[in-house]
Amino acid sequence: MGFRYDIVNDIELSKTVNRSTIIENVQLGDINETNVNGFINAEFELGKFRIAPALRLDYFKFLYNDHLQTEYQSLSETKTILSPKLNFFWDAKDNYQVFLKSGIGFHSNDTRVVVTQRGRDILPRAYGVDLGNIWKPIPRLVVNTTLWYLFLEQEFVYVGDAGIVEPSGKTERYGLDFGFRYQFNDWLFLDTDMTLTHARSTEEPDREYYIPLAPDFTMAGGLSVNNLDGFSGGLRYRYIDDRPANEDNSIVAKGYFVTDFSANYSFNDITIGLVIENLFDVDWNETQFATESRLQDEVNSVEEIHFTPGTPFFVKASITYQF
């Protein structure tokens, strides 16, 4: 069983001067969101086969007080949803397992959108299935591969200038995940995970079916040291390729490859740490959106990439005392 209650007061999007003086409130209000949920599962063993059905029940209440209305206005919606799961496992050998996982879930979106939709698309369904395997070819190596598919009844896109999340239709994604873990010895480890994805809208015309900012290829991993005479740390990397920033892929969000380094030394109750972010000081963009904007000397607005610069070469040291 689970219970969650979120209170977010004065959630706001405003036009400002010098980021401090408010000119106009675009969005301003209070959010209260309640979720009560229950989950039950079972597992049946049939020799080398296992069948694991499960069921989840969720109740949501969304409440929004809009401070921009001239009269007090409280908007609310409630929704209950049932989500079944069904998983299969085949332990073909001691070092090889095949699995098929399937389930129906939901997309819980922005409370401000839920209440203005008047009961539509409150908790749109998500349908997913994974077919994969886990293989340990040698004692120190684990390899996992998965083919997967995901269908969303409603994709939601954040519109920054309006401060809202808007429904944008049905979408599907499918792809391949691959990962491996290798243990050189008692303290040195190597790991890599990569994902190849095809993401498209199913209701848009040809060449306008791209899902903004949905990546085609990602990869992350590194080399890690764990407790070598008090030392730990590693060299980690993350990569994301260029991806569409709008529906027709005429604007592209640039990918990046960033490497971080960390080292820690522990003795008695003290740990001394060093972290170097963006070790090779590459230029990269963290948050990227295709948004219309107009400079002071421009007649018309232009749709282009707006971005938050990624962290440059950055060093941080720390001392921790544990008691």
List, for residues 237-265, the tens digit of each pLDDT value: 999 999 999 899 999 999 999 999 999 99
**Mean pLDDT taken over the chain:** 92
Most confident option among 10-14, 54-58, 289-293? 54-58
Residue 168's pLDDT is what?
Answer: 81
**The residue count for the chain:** 323
Please say whether the beta carbons of 143 and 183 come within 8 A: no
| Digit-coded pLDDT (tens) for 189-226 | 999 999 999 999 998 888 889 998 999 999 999 999 99
Residue 185's pLDDT is what?
Answer: 95
Mean pLDDT of 168-189: 95
Residue 290's pLDDT is what?
Answer: 87
Residue 158's pLDDT is what?
Answer: 72
Domains within the chain, CATH numbers bracketed: 39-55+71-321 (2.40.170.20)
Q: Out of 222-231, 233-242, 289-298, pick the least confident.
A: 289-298
Q: How far apart are the first and last CA of the chain?
A: 34
Burial class (CB in 10 A: 0-12, 13-18, 19+), 57: middle
Annotate 242-301 with DSSP letters as a single string: -EESSTTSSSEE--EEEEEEEEEEEETTEEEEEEEESTT----EEEEEEEEE--TT-SS-
Residue for token pair 């332990």:
91
User: Does the pLDDT at position 161 exceed 80?
Assistant: no
Mean pLDDT of 259-279: 96
What is the 8-class DSSP label of residue 310?
P
Please say whether the beta carbons of 179 and 219 come within 8 A: no
Closest Cα to residue 58, out of 103, 105, 116? 105
Mean pLDDT of 126-143: 97
Which structure tokens are listed for 258? 């960033």
User: Does the pLDDT at position 73 exceed 80?
Assistant: no
| Digit-coded pLDDT (tens) for 84-126 | 999 999 999 999 999 999 999 998 777 877 777 666 778 889 9
Mean pLDDT of 127-140: 97
Closest Cα to residue 156, out of 201, 204, 195? 201
At 313, is the pLDDT very low, low, confident or very high (cuts 50, 70, 90)?
very high
Residue 119's pLDDT is what?
Answer: 63
Residue 118's pLDDT is what?
Answer: 67
From CA 162, how far away is CA 6, in angstroms rounded? 23
More confident call, 98 vs 299: 98
